Amino acid sequence: MPEDVVPAGTNQSPMSRQWRGLLREYADRLNITEATPIVTLGEGGTPLIAAPALSARTGANVFVKYEGMNPTGSFKDRGMTMAISKAVEHGAKAVICASTGNTSASAAAYAAHAGITSVVLIPAGKISMGKLSQAVAHNAEILQVEGNFDDCLEIARELAAYYPVHLVNSVNPDRIAGQKTAAFEVIEVLGDAPDFHFIPVGNAGNYTAYYRGYSEDLARGASTKLPRMFGFQAEGSAPLVRGEVVKNPETIASAIRIGNPASWNFAIEAHAGSNGYFGAISDANILEAQRILSAEVGIFVEPASAISVAGLLERSAAGEVPKGSKVVLTVTGHGLKDPQWALRRADGTDVSPRLVPIDITEIAGILGLQKVAE
Ligand code: AN7
């Protein structure tokens, strides 16, 4: 029997049957050479999940690309496997990034795996506990800057320009190259590009990356069209919608609390090239969408990710998503990154499960259950 064929049930699944991480899976479509060390934690290959509850609400045919399934729980791992591999190829001993949380978690994990140092600059008090715990766990050098993300990015860029630290924010083109593979995966599953792609926008790196991935697949004949790229920002943090930098961005969706997107010009290009759309969503509607996705579809995401769902519901209600359209929503980060929002009701009170005694009859009564067997 050939080595890679093992009878079902023998519990000896060979490594060749495991997803090998996106650098190996897409080696021919990325700038990877024999000289590139592959720093991987098995990222990519995330599920595209049908969302019947969202299809029923909108009349569209809706699928969710669940990027929370990546090794550190967000889409950032796609760009980071590439950026850290290239950094090591170039001899870097230390990497640096500014982050609203997920980039720092990912950079810290991949740097740890590669055996190099990571430095992360975060806006003081403004990243979720889950993400901070990851950066700490992976032994990053963490500095809280007394400012917002945009201030952090400016400092990171300057440090990387004048000191021996390699920048791994999405202004590094390796990041966007890695992230474009998500569009390849969507097309492999659906057999063509969808009609619409809904996605959260912070720095607009991911919006840019999907557009590039879809464009490359179209150019090589793997698909017949580009999806319309619909990007969403939080109302208090919506520079691309307003057409100007937001000096003091605010939103509960801390991942996208960004006032001056690094990929602004690329995003304008992707918007124009795909007949796209930029919209703003209130924090209340973001949280409502998060609840709908977790309670009706079974997918738990952080608030920033739920903006894709909120965007779909808003555009659908506005009559802008024709019935029967094929729609993909990218949800970028896992709900466990920032679980506090799920534990709060819309009126601001905390959810606290009812306390009961150790009494079967009383519990059955509370649950409204009638006895069906003696
Ligand atoms: C969950 O970690 O910018 O538009 O520093 O964490 O490509 O910036 C995170 C961004 C969406 C926006 N969803 O993506 C960071 C950071 C989640 C995110 C975005 C982020 P981009």
14 pLDDT more than 90: no
Indicate if ligand 1 lies below 6 Å from the C-beta of 100. Answer: yes
Q: In sequence order, which residues have a C-beta less than 8 Å from that of residue 179 and are 6 or more positions away? A: 75, 78, 79, 170, 205, 206, 209, 210, 213
Q: Is 148 in the pocket of ligand 1 (CB under 6 A)?
A: no
Query: What separation in angstroms does the CA of 99 have from each of 26, 102, 126, 132, 289?
Result: 27, 7, 10, 10, 24
Closest to 185 (Cα-Cα) out of 64, 52, 293 = 64
Can you give the pLDDT at residue 54? 98
pLDDT tens for residues 325-350?
A: 999 999 999 999 999 999 998 888 99
In this prediction, residues 2-9 reach a mean pLDDT of 49
pTM here is: 0.95
pLDDT of residue 343: 94
Separate counts of helices (H) and strands (E) for the chain: 14, 10
Ligand 1 centroid–CA 170 distance in Å is 10
Q: Which of 32-36, 64-68, 347-351 has the lowest mean pLDDT?
A: 347-351
331 three-class SS: strand
Mean pLDDT of the chain: 95
Q: Is the pLDDT of residue 2 over 50?
A: no
Percentage of the chain with pLDDT > 90?
94
Which tens digit of pLDDT belongs to each residue from 275-287? 999 999 999 999 9
Closest ligand 1 atom to Cα of 101:
2
First to last CA, the chain: 56
Cβ contact 293:301 at 8 Å: yes
Ligand 1 pocket member 101 (CB < 6 A)? yes
